[in-house]
Structure formats: structure tokens, C-alpha cells
Amino acid sequence: MNVFKNIFFLGRYTSVYNPYKYLIAVETENKVKKFISKERPLREYRNEIEKLKKLISAVGSLPVTIPMHLFYLDCNHINQVHTHTAYVLCIYMLYHQFYLDCTVSISTR
């Protein structure tokens, strides 16, 4: 029966998310906190934010629906979760860098 082929295709499609699954892991936020806990040049922040922006773009280009036998697999929610997480991490780093810049600016006056 063709419906049983869904199992194969579903497993194959979920492997598309393997490069992004760390975004929804608890350790990811801890890594970002560790990154911002050390004083770093602005260039390093920019590089990390650029990596996250590339992830947002890559996840955004993943298909929203996958045609299966007898139904469509809706991947919109999982794509949004991954994109939102990367976006929040970007904002978190930007905010931290902005806060540091303001603090340094105020203390040097």
C-alpha cells in the first residue's frame, strides 16, 4: 500500500532539520549566554549574528508543506519555531552589545 511509503519519506524529510535542531536545544541559550559573558570585539558579535541570520534564511527556505500519500505534512510551525529561536538569539546578542556600548559611553563621559 502506498501509505506505508510515508514512513520512509517522513524519516528522510525530518533529516533536513538535523543541521538546525540545536536551535531548539536548551544548550543553545546557554552557549549564547557564555558567548556574551566574555568581553569580545564587535567583529565577533557581528560574525555570530551573521551566522544566525544565515540560519534564519536557510530555515525560511525549507518547504512549508510536504506532499505525502493521502495527506500533506504541514511544516510551517516547526519552521517558525526554528526561525523565531534564531531571531531571538540575534536580538539577545544585539541588545547585550548595545547595552555594553551604552555603558562604556556613559562611563567615559
Q: Could you tell me how far CA 30 lies from the centroid of its own chain?
A: 14
Q: Which segments of 1-109 are extended strands (E)?
A: 65-67, 72-74
State the cell numbers at 57: 534564511
Predicted confidence (pLDDT) per residue in 2-49, tens digit: 666 666 667 777 777 888 887 777 788 888 888 888 888 888 888 988
Model confidence at 106, pLDDT cuts 50, 70, 90, reads low
Whether the per-residue pLDDT at 83 is higher than 80: the answer is yes
Whether the per-residue pLDDT at 64 is higher than 80: the answer is no
- Entry pTM: 0.64
